[in-house]
Structure 1
Amino acid sequence: MSFETTDATVATTLLPLPAGRWAIDPFHSAVNFTIRHLGISKVRGRFAEFDAELVVGETLETSSVTSTIQLASIDTGNADRDAHVRASDLLDVERRPTMTFRSTRLEGAGEDWTMAGELTIGEVTRPVTLAVEFGGLGEFGEVRHAGFEATGEIRRSEYGLSFAPGMLGEVVKIQLDMQFLEPGKADA
């Protein structure tokens, strides 16, 4: 199975992946973000607990990605800051424990791919589009891994996260590095 795109004269095979459910390899994947602090520098962080699944269908229309991120697993390298961000006046992880993503469209040509989807934080769902780069396939033991990088950004106020204006930037940049395990081989 491969994802194919066609222009007037040429068909390009970009992702030679067998159809099926590709499970996340959490040990070789990361969910990272960057946000401005005081408008003068950036704070970088990550979410340590997440799950994702890639379903490769017979066509792009029948292929999808889903992911759930545990917001309480935020790690910015400062335990006091992380505790404050989890609190009710900021992320409020008691009320909003997860962030979820569900793709709605995959498209691309050559090396330029996009994945449109819906991102839900708490009770707010908004569209988001990510630029995706396919890193390729590699074998580790008897299991093939598929690697991807996805980048994009969201505006936090659109999700009801408008706390600390002026202190924290409005735009949160997202960088996802994901490895998925070939169907039927994830437990090998």
Structure 2
Amino acid sequence: MTTHTTTLPLVAGRWAVDPAHSAVNFTIRHLGVSKVRGRFTSFDVDVHVGDTVETTSVAATIQLASIDTGNADRDAHVLASDMVDVNLRPTLAFRSTMVTANGDDWRVDGELTVGEVTMPVTLAVLFGGVEEFPGGPRHAGFEATTQIRRQDFGLMPSIPAAALGDVIKIELDIQLLEPDATSDVAAE
């Protein structure tokens, strides 16, 4: 963890997510021999960039009903009451508690909530840079990864880890749009 204030190569303010160029993906092992890959198609990310890394915050909400594993029957089964139970757990929500940088190593520590369970998680973050976009705001790109244990969140408790792995790997590819310098957003 850094012991000094780290400035960001981003202007201060609330950066909006670019949903057309962002993705929330996951993998989980099936029968211990292969992986099931999927994504969530409905999510929101709120990034407030402060003057330093230490004053920056991240929040995200994923609508679990938007799961897409490429198999509609499997998706319906995952959302059923014996697995995720989307009626009881409609969202996965993340709120940062600390953002740190040490050279190229970035991390976002925070709390992940699924249903009534909240657990600490850490996202390893790769900053892809900032690029001009013709006729629009500058874009910033980030890749972030973490993993959670489904048992920690009470997800699919009746399914043994030998049938469906306990570890869910989450991969985020996020593009953010720079706030308009003339708006009041930077003052928030």
State TM-score, norm by structure 1: 0.89
Deviations 1:49-84 (A, max 9, x none): 000011011232321000000000000011100010
Which residue of the other structure, out of 164, 167, 184, is the alignment partner of 1:168?
Answer: 164
Q: How does 1:102-181 map to 2 (within 5 A)?
A: 102-140=95-133, 141-161=135-155, 162-165=157-160, 166-181=162-177
CA distance 1:127–1:6, shift in 2 (3 Å) = closer
Q: How does 1:60-79 map to 2 (within 5 A)?
A: 60-79=53-72
Q: Which runs of 5+ in 2 are unaligned?
A: 182-188
Q: Are 2:3 and 1:33 equivalent residues in the alignment?
A: no
Q: State the number of aligned residues.
A: 177
Matched residues in 2 for 1:6 and 1:61: separation? 10
State TM-score, norm by structure 2: 0.89
Matched residues in 1 for 2:33 and 2:64: separation? 25
Matched residues in 2 for 1:61 and 1:114: separation? 11
Deviations 1:141-183 (A, max 9, x none): 2211110000110011000112311211010011000011111
8 Å CA contact retained: 2:107, 2:122 = yes
8 Å CA contact retained: 2:137, 2:180 = no
Q: Which amino acid aligns with 1:173?
A: K
Q: Which amino acid aligns with 2:158?
A: F
Larger strand proportion of the pair: 1
Q: Which amino acid aligns with 1:160?
A: G
Percent of aligned pairs sharing the same letter: 68
Large movers: runs of 4+ above 3 Å: none
8 Å CA contact retained: 2:137, 2:179 = no
Aligned-residue offset at 1:184: 2.2
2:44 maps to what in 1? Answer: 51
8 Å CA contact retained: 1:34, 1:45 = yes
Deviates more, 1:21-30 or 1:54-63: 54-63
Deviates more, 1:127-136 or 1:50-59: 50-59
SS class of match (1:143) = coil
SS class of match (2:77) = helix
Aligned-residue offset at 1:12: 7.5
Aligned-residue offset at 1:132: 0.2
Aligned-residue offset at 1:109: 1.2
8 Å CA contact retained: 1:12, 1:110 = no
Aligned alpha-carbon RMSD (Å): 1.6
